[in-house]
Structure 1
């Protein structure tokens, strides 16, 4: 017998207020120092995040302080919308995303031990199948969040991008696994701790940047630069992704939160 919606909401509020549930911030702090993607020439790069003071309790605004912000869409913890990639160039912008798909079950897959041994690690179908064998199938509307341990570099641009001789060495997903996630699973989105949803050397795969190509092409979403995945259980948490509804936007900085039981330990 299902619980009435009103009762379910009341139970959620009660658990939050009484500490039975905790809210976990999965978002990297956004500042001028936040590590951002650097594309090689001749490709153009987005501007880094910055604040421009407009007034600060002065003649321009005696009772208030406020700023202009300058930022690219794909800076810090951010969402990739379908129209970001050529495989879905006319797809939904960030203002068109159905909000019901921005909240869903969090499936946390921990590959941090393997990434520690190989920063170029690529997630394969069998890794996801092994997770499902232990925790159950990926759920409709869920988000597969990959814990790589890369969050420890989140405030160190050089380590975060890990570039040697023009090649970035950060973990990602294989072309076969990206295609399978996009075409054979009911998830709404895919999240990572790295600067982008593909491996640092993702242009060398076929097709180039397969997570972008297949997932965005299938009207699914990506979210990057996540934090604190190690505090979540492998299953049983809820994720909420909150991008700005930018008309025409291909992505947006986002606040990403999770709701999890206070009695369930994460994977740390």
Structure 2
């Protein structure tokens, strides 16, 4: 047998499924541009800079044969990964460059609360909601990602609707403090993914503790992914997700490309 011959195996089966259409790649990433909605912290807190591109050359005198840009952005802009080091409770934990790659890839489960969020933008997921889902679909997967579908991705091109801010604050769905603590301390998931601007509900600054998804998940060496799109194209169970942040040394977060692999009949 020739030394360079390839025996059928897992990789070949995987590639064959992609080529044959029985395995589909779904892009869960929001396009990153200056128009992307970003978190707005109230005074006296300081906000990150928004995303922008600065032209350096465009087939002209500064660079006659090429076009390139400088990127200006905060870490937590667009679809991005929160590392444990982002929050005070995880300050001695991994930065974004240190997240083990095995924990960036794993099974995905999608919990659909879009009807509840449409009826109440302040809707909060409680442990009982997830336990009821588990009773129907099985336990949350070890090392997997819990993806929270709220239908909020439909507002991504309308920053006002997406942030939904009034005189009492921001009103977007999320998880309760009790749910954040339970997910962080009693479930085997690697992380939480959401369609909203942050992994906490819009008014979570008033919770106890403030911003409990950050407080508990990042403090327990778990991760967050925000501004996801296209969760409606994923099944409740059976998909695999790949979260791909930049390997920024010392970074507390990074914009990321997030992909899901879904079996199709």
Contact 1:40 1:166 (8 Å CA) reproduced: no
User: How far apart in 1 are the matches of 2:182 and 2:80?
Assistant: 23
State the superposition RMSD in angstroms. 1.1
User: How far apart in 1 are the matches of 2:49 and 2:257?
Assistant: 19
Which residue number in structure 1 is paired with residue 235 of structure 2? 233
User: How far apart in 2 are the matches of 1:36 and 1:121?
Assistant: 21
User: How far apart in 2 are the matches of 1:222 and 1:230?
Assistant: 19
Return the match for 1:102 from 83, 104, 111. Answer: 104
State the SS of the aligned residue for 1:57. strand
TM-score, length-scaled by structure 2:
0.96
Gaps of 5+ in 1: 1-5, 264-268
Q: Is residue 193 of structure 2 the alignment partner of residue 152 of structure 1?
A: no
Q: CA deviation at 1:24?
A: 0.3
For residues 63-78 of structure 1, what are the structure 2 equivalents within 5 Å? 63-78=65-80
Q: CA deviation at 1:262?
A: 2.1
Q: Is residue 201 of structure 2 the alignment partner of residue 199 of structure 1?
A: yes
User: How far apart in 2 are the matches of 1:97 and 1:249?
Assistant: 11
Kindly report structure 1 stretches of 4+ aligned residues shifted beyond 4 Å.
none
User: How far apart in 2 are the matches of 1:7 and 1:176?
Assistant: 44
Return the match for 1:141 from 140, 143, 149. Answer: 143
Aligned positions, number:
259
Which residue number in structure 2 is paired with residue 266 of structure 1? none
User: How far apart in 1 are the matches of 2:81 and 2:168?
Assistant: 25
State the SS of the aligned residue for 1:139. coil
Q: CA deviation at 1:11?
A: 1.1
Return the match for 2:16 from 6, 14, 34. Answer: 14
Which residue number in structure 1 is paired with residue 178 of structure 2? 176
User: How far apart in 2 are the matches of 1:121 and 1:40?
Assistant: 22
Which residue number in structure 1 is paired with residue 31 of structure 2? 29
Q: CA deviation at 1:166?
A: 4.8
Which residue number in structure 1 is paired with residue 4 of structure 2? none
Q: Is residue 246 of structure 2 the alignment partner of residue 244 of structure 1?
A: yes
Gaps of 5+ in 2: 1-7
Which residue number in structure 2 is paired with residue 88 of structure 1? 90
Return the match for 1:213 from 200, 212, 215. Answer: 215
